[in-house]
Amino acid sequence: MSFPIYQIDAFTNRVFGGNPAAVVILDEWLEDETLQAIAAENNLAETAFVIPGAKCSELRWFTPVVEVELCGHATLAAAYVLFQEYFRAESHLRFETKSGCLAVSRKENFLFLDFPSRPGKAVSVDDSLIEVLGTAPESAFLARDLMVVLESEAQVRSFSPNYHAIQGLDAFALIITARGDEVDFVSRFFAPGAGVPEDPVTGSAHCTLIPYWADRLGKTDLVARQLSSRGGELSCELHGDRVLIGGEVVEYMRGKIL
């Protein structure tokens, strides 16, 4: 058997920007060990495995070392492939995932994720957290990820991560964020324990970032930028307990797993 595979750059309008994800199309699920081996071979932040369906497609995501329960950029990439190759006449897609039913819509050159909002709960900034970060944040919040708020975009840009220390945090990943100079807010994302030292652009992190910044800035439509070396921009909206996360997508490569 062989399986189509695509490599897609998400949250960007240019190749070599945004966050690359692999998308593998399946007819039925392979053994978990095989899915994980394919993801490790791809060695990208995430590989999305999709079984296309007319009403709802099944979707799972794997980093090089672990399956994750939610991934934004790889969902955007998977939707792009399905829109281009399987459901050209559609403007909305639905995915069944470990985070429930997720929807993706398209409007002109943009794709929009409809994800659950995941606000963080305030946690204390103690000496151990300051030691991990190497600086004292304004505040910290815990959801799936630990989100810390810094004073400025410059601090986010210059942050030098201690991956070993970050891996010891009691959270899936670390988000650092601040108000942006040219956009509403900026961020970076680190998940060394999941095999992703720094993720280029992280859709799922914005499930926590969007409700925080919407409340702090008093607005529900926001523009965000992730300050990785590849960089990416996201169009963000808060709708009650849901967030819309939009971006452009570019196909880099396609082939077959033999």
User: What is the secondary structure of 159-221 as a DSSP string?
Assistant: ----HHHHHTSSSS-EEEEEE-SSSSEEEEEEEGGGTEEEESS-TTTHHHHHHHHHHHHT-SE
Dig out the tokens for 207 from the structure: 């499930």
Question: 31, 33, 41, 46: which one is catalytic?
Answer: 46
CA distances from 240 to 42, 114, 150, 226 (A): 36, 12, 26, 23
Instruction: Write the DSSP assignment of 88-105 as a string of letters.
Output: TT-SEEEEEETTEEEEEE
The SS3 call for residue 225 is strand
Q: What is d(CA 143, CA 170) in angstroms, rounded to the nearest whole number? A: 11
The DSSP output letter for 66 is -
Q: Would you say how long the chain is, in residues?
A: 258
Question: Cβ(110)–Cβ(248) under 8 Å?
Answer: yes
Distance from C-alpha of 201 to C-alpha of 166, rounded to nearest angstrom: 18
Give the tokens for residue 21: 């994800």
58 is known as an active-site residue: no
Q: Which residues are catalytic, by number? A: 46
